[in-house]
Amino acid sequence: MAPAASTAGAAVTALSVMALLSYLLLTKSRSRSPSYSSVKKNGSGVIAAIGNTPLIRINSLSQATGCEILGKAEFLNPGGSVKDRVAVKIIEEALESGALSPGGVVTEGSAGSTAISLATVTPAYGCKCHVVIPDDAAIEKSQILEALGATVERVRPVSITHKEHYVNIARRRALEADELASEHQKTSQDRDSLAYCKGGFFADQFENLANYRAHYEGTGPEIWEEVGGKLDAFVAAAGTGGTVAGVSRFLKEKDSSIKCFLIDPPGSGLFNKVTRGVMYTREEAEGRRLKNPFDTITEGIGINRLTENFKMAALDGAFRGSDIEAVEMSRYLLKNDGLFIGSSSAMNCVGAVKVAQAMGPGHTIVTILCDSGMRHLSKFHNAQYLAQYGLTPSATGLEFLGLDAVMNADKKVMNGIHSAEEKLEENKCIM
């Protein structure tokens, strides 16, 4: 008799396969999905609205540092994040190569933003979306995905070397979809349903260089044009590495004097890789880790392996950022600029200030505002959640980055000017 654990595991696997089969074969509607050629040719609809986001001046940070700190407002994309660009590029390249057909299912393992972007754009290409997401991601991300019509699997977070890591599960789901579609084509007499059973494609955002190309061909050139070729530095965090790699490489090719930096959250090994050439000691090697290696509340950034996308980055250095700095930054920007941003955007802004401090006043620095705070309500913007980890924000200014002394000095100077003006007015009155 098989052990109970094995029986239970087999049952779960069977249920997963059955669920995927049902998903692939659902609906026999005769209405035709939009073809890829029509989407590509027309350049209209939701796809045409992605990209060309504004580069906005972050006034409070610019005034505090003496630099021009600019943020690429990627939260204004239709799917709400910078990952819209990646989703479109991955799908279009897959369709062009034949790796994906309209009617197929796109699978991905994602902490949220890429999954949401894929779920947003796949219908425009006549495709479906199946997402595997770690269960410690903000719950509203799963809710958004389900509302967008994606199939969602929530799994426990484990090391990438574990077969049950969400990325590895997503890869298997694509293979299962291919197998099921192939079997269905052999046995089914219902040709109409075959339009909705065209196999699977694993988006593979971490290793698929379409991710890098989306930013090398899109985000980077947009930034260059928006600053008029006058830029001193670019800084961003990395998860897959696609954004920081694509943008940094494009900007460096345009002007090699532009400095490009990484801002890395707690628990990530990329800071060590950039500054020391190694990501971890032999004892800390990813292959020896069985638990989730991250130690940060930020989502979608930080990693302990070198992805194909990150390998394309052209970086001059790296900075470390902390969770409390990201939390404080998000509250500071909301209060002073009306910017309601997510955790990765906040970390990027922390990076922008650190770069400004290192370079000094008078420089132009660009970063990425990846997404808004709307999909971070249950964690990053939840006071009770933050309190559990000792991350309750308390700063009144930018003292958490060591800028309070500078700002206070500026205030004293301004107060001195006002006092002198008032004294002069008094003297005029006496005269």
* pLDDT single digits (tens) 224-266: 999 999 999 999 999 999 999 999 999 999 999 999 999 999 9
Token pair 């069977």 is found at 14
Average model confidence (pLDDT) across the chain: 83
Which of 32-36, 98-102, 132-136, 214-218 has the lowest average pLDDT? 32-36
pLDDT at 405 > cutoff 90? no
Query: Residues 365-372: what's their mean pLDDT?
Result: 97
Q: How many helices (H) and strands (E) does the chain have?
A: 16, 10
Long-range contacts for 144-152 (Cβ within 8 Å, ≥24 apart)?
A: 144/116, 144/119, 144/375, 145/112, 145/115, 145/116, 145/119, 148/116, 148/119, 148/120, 149/119, 149/123, 150/115, 150/118, 150/119, 151/19, 151/20, 151/23
Q: Could you tell me if 308 and 240 are in contact, meaning their C-beta atoms sit under 8 angstroms apart?
A: no
Write phi, then psi, for 55 (nearest 5 degrees): -100, 110
Token pair 């087999």 is found at 10
- Per the DSSP assignment, residues forming a β-bridge with 369 are 73
- Per the DSSP assignment, residues forming a β-bridge with 320 are 264
If one compares 111 and 41, the residue with the highest pLDDT of the two is 111
Query: Residues 289-300: what's their mean pLDDT?
Result: 66
Q: What is the DSSP string of 264-328?
A: E-TT-SHHHHHHHS-SS-GGG-GGG--S-----S--S---SS--TTGGG---SEEEE--HHHHHH
Task: Report the candidate in 50, 48, 58 with the shortest Cα–Cα distance to residue 336.
Answer: 58
Predicted model pTM: 0.82
